[in-house]
């Protein structure tokens, strides 16, 4: 067993860089864990992947091969990795949402610093418990609120003073019809009892980002929303339980056949969805098997989903600033849209471009925050890369201020999300 004194913690070398690369273990090598690990390899002088825990054999083997991990540092579960003792400086926890509390507790108690995928946990109880673990152990826990780390957000923060005081914000999270059908009707986040409610799973990013921009405590919240469309009552008479057998498969906007077969031949998000259902095998046979036998081949009107497909959240912050936030499935897959209304101007943004209208000059200034013109839907508009870089650099260089989403800030915004869902369920205005 590797002894703990050979490993470093951020709090133990504040202001002093390490004289070696930071060592990282990965708990959960799915899409998010693999993405953060890959981005860490872009910083070979500052970070090195040394271990992985992943229950799926094929994904675990692929990850271990890609990162040249020795067999003794490849584990079938986070429990097995924790049982090995302290084997790295830090761990990235990207297990399923419902499996955050126990690994976070175990690794924090062993002294690891932690990068934790959002949401912190699917319940308020477990979320608060992780906050208590951080306070008790003194470990650094950063949460993957990638929207705080994008160049777009950095530019907005810089130019916000030019529109005066923020009076109100209008913000849209367009989930996208295909994304919603994949993740929240057929997929892992379709049921509150198995995962969590949709606002937490999909839009804790957005609530956190809005609180980050306003930078004052939220005081009151109300919310409305429901499962409007994806339920048996809206099923067409000719529809079958599986898209592969359905006479409507080529005309239905939510056809699994169309979505995942398109992903075979096109890149981007559709291919990502296809990789998910086939465990990375981009072949016609693998897609057909998944459509015939797996959960992703089901008719969207014949699933066991119960999470909302649209929701609005209204917030009031200290000083009177208000927010109107909309999360909806019924959009193309596109960037978030935001309007910020200030006392001397208006800021409009789409995840890449920022338009600032000045009331005095009646002129609009536009900023393109993408240096290379790349799509803002890839890598969360640079947020994934900047989050990974910031976390690694903070731990390597002893600079905690580089972490913009520490557990304290994330707990605050998560509490808003839980209060919003309580407000929706009870039809009340919740005072925070």
Is the domain of 342 the same as that of 216?
yes
Instruction: Please give the pLDDT value at position 31.
Output: 86
- Do the beta carbons of residue 405 and residue 208 sit within 8 Å? yes
Instruction: Check residue 260 and report its DSSP letter.
Output: H
Give the residue among 1, 15, 148, 18 at the shortest CA–CA distance from 90.
18
Dist CA 239 CA 254 (whole Å) = 12
Angle at 235 between CA 229 and CA 237, to 5 degrees: 155
H or E element in which residue 397 lies: helix 383-397
Give the other-Cβ count within 10 Å of 16's Cβ.
11
Tell me whether residue 393 is in a domain: no
Is the domain of 207 the same as that of 338?
yes
Is the domain of 201 the same as that of 349?
yes
Count how many domains the chain has: 3
Instruction: Please give the pLDDT value at position 410.
Output: 97
Last residue of a domain, one of 114, 144, 174: 144
Instruction: Please give the pLDDT value at position 380.
Output: 60
Last residue of a domain, one of 246, 265, 297: 297
Instruction: Please give the pLDDT value at position 308.
Output: 98
Last residue of a domain, one of 128, 144, 160: 144
Dist CA 102 CA 105 (whole Å) = 5
Is the domain of 270 the same as that of 222?
no
Dist CA 370 CA 349 (whole Å) = 13
Tell me whether residue 134 is in a domain: yes
Residue 377, pLDDT > 50, answer no
Tell me whether residue 18 is in a domain: yes
CA 22 to each of CA 91, 154, 251, 389: distance values in angstroms, whole numbers, following the listed order: 11, 26, 52, 12
CA 407 to each of CA 191, 208, 254, 313: distance values in angstroms, whole numbers, following the listed order: 26, 12, 38, 23
Is the domain of 240 the same as that of 291?
yes
**Residue 365: exposure state from Cβ atoms within 10 A (0-12, 13-18, ≥19):** middle
- Do the beta carbons of residue 169 and residue 213 sit within 8 Å? yes
User: Could you list the residue range(s) of the whole structural domain that residue 121 is in?
Assistant: 4-144
Is the domain of 139 the same as that of 167?
no
Instruction: Please give the pLDDT value at position 375.
Output: 43
Determine which of 1-5, 157-161, 217-221, 312-316 has the lowest per-residue pLDDT on average: 1-5
Give the residue among 392, 401, 405 at the shortest CA–CA distance from 18.
392
Task: Say if pTM beats, i.e. exceeds, 0.85.
Answer: yes
Dist CA 304 CA 190 (whole Å) = 8
pLDDT, tens digit (0-9, with 9 covering 90-100), for 91-132: 999 998 889 999 999 999 999 999 999 999 999 999 999 999
Instruction: Check residue 30 and report its DSSP letter.
Output: S
H or E element in which residue 213 lies: helix 198-214
Dist CA 309 CA 306 (whole Å) = 9
List helix spans (H) across 227-334. Answer: 256-265, 268-278, 284-293
Tell me whether residue 102 is in a domain: yes
Residue 378, pLDDT > 70, answer no
What CATH code is carried by the domain that includes residue 137?
3.40.50.720
Tell me whether residue 369 is in a domain: yes
pLDDT, tens digit (0-9, with 9 covering 90-100), for 251-310: 999 999 999 999 998 888 899 999 999 988 899 999 999 999 999 999 999 999 999 999
pLDDT, tens digit (0-9, with 9 covering 90-100), for 298-353: 999 999 999 999 999 999 999 999 999 999 999 999 999 999 999 999 999 999 99
Residue 3, pLDDT > 70, answer no
Instruction: Please give the pLDDT value at position 265.
Output: 87
Tell me whether residue 396 is in a domain: no
Is the domain of 221 the same as that of 326?
yes
Listed in sequence order, the residues at least 6 apart from 161 whose beta carbon sits closer than 8 Å to its beta carbon are: none
- Mean per-residue pLDDT, 390-415: 97
Tell me whether residue 204 is in a domain: yes
Dist CA 256 CA 242 (whole Å) = 9
Is the domain of 137 the same as that of 214?
no
Instruction: Please give the pLDDT value at position 1.
Output: 36
In the β-sheet with 353-358, what is the strand arrangement from edge to edge?
Answer: 363-368, 353-358, 345-349, 337-342, 166-174, 322-328, 310-317, 218-226, 430-431
Tell me whether residue 185 is in a domain: yes
What CATH code is carried by the domain that includes residue 341?
3.30.360.10
Is the domain of 184 the same as that of 243?
no
CA 252 to each of CA 258, 276, 293: distance values in angstroms, whole numbers, following the listed order: 9, 21, 20
Is the domain of 106 the same as that of 119?
yes
Question: Within 13 A of 347's CA, how many CA atoms are on the CB side?
Answer: 29
């Amino acid at each position: 067993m590797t002894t703990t004194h050979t490993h470093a913690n951020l709090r133990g070398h504040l202001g002093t860089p390490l004289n070696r690369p930071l060592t990282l273990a990965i708990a959960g090598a799915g899409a998010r864990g693999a993405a953060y690990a890959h981005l860490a390899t872009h910083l070979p002088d500052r970070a090195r992947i040394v271990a992985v825990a992943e229950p799926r054999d094929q994904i675990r083997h692929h990850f271990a091969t890609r990162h040249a991990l020795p067999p003794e540092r490849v584990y079938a579960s986070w429990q097995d990795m924790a049982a090995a003792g302290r084997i790295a400086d830090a761990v990235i926890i990207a297990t399923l949402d419902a499996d955050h509390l126990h690994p976070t507790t175990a690794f924090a108690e062993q002294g690891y610093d932690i990068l934790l995928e959002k949401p912190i946990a699917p319940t308020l109880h477990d979320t608060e418990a992780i906050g208590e673990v951080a306070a008790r152990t003194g470990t650094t826990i950063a949460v993957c609120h990638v929207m705080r780390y994008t160049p777009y957000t950095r530019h907005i923060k810089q130019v916000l003073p030019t529109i005066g005081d923020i009076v109100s914000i209008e913000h849209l999270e367009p989930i996208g019809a295909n994304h919603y059908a994949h993740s929240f009707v057929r997929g892992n986040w379709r049921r509150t009892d198995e995962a969590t409610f949709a606002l937490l799973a999909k839009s804790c990013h957005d609530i956190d980002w809005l609180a980050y921009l306003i930078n004052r405590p939220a005081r009151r919240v109300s919310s409305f929303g429901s499962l409007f469309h994806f339920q048996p009552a809206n099923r067409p008479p000719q529809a079958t339980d599986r898209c592969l057998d359905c006479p409507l498969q080529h005309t239905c906007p939510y056809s699994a056949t169309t979505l995942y077969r398109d992903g075979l031949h096109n890149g981007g998000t559709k291919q990502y969805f296809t990789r998910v259902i086939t465990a990375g095998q981009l072949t016609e046979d693998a897609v057909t098997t998944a459509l015939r036998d797996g959960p992703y081949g089901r008719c969207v009107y014949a699933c066991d989903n119960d999470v909302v497909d649209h929701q609005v959240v209204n917030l009031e912050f200290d000083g009177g600033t208000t927010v109107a936030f909309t999360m909806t499935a019924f959009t193309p897959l596109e960037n978030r849209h935001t309007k910020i209304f200030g006392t001397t101007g208006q800021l409009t943004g789409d995840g890449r471009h920022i338009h600032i209208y000045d009331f005095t000059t009646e002129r609009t200034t536009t900023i393109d925050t993408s240096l290379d013109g790349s799509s803002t839907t890839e890598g969360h508009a640079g947020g994934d890369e900047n989050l990974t870089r910031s976390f690694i650099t903070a731990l390597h260089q002893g600079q905690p201020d580089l972490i913009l989403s520490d557990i304290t800030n994330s707990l605050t915004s998560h509490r808003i999300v839980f209060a919003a869902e309580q407000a929706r369920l009870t039809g009340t205005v919740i005072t925070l």
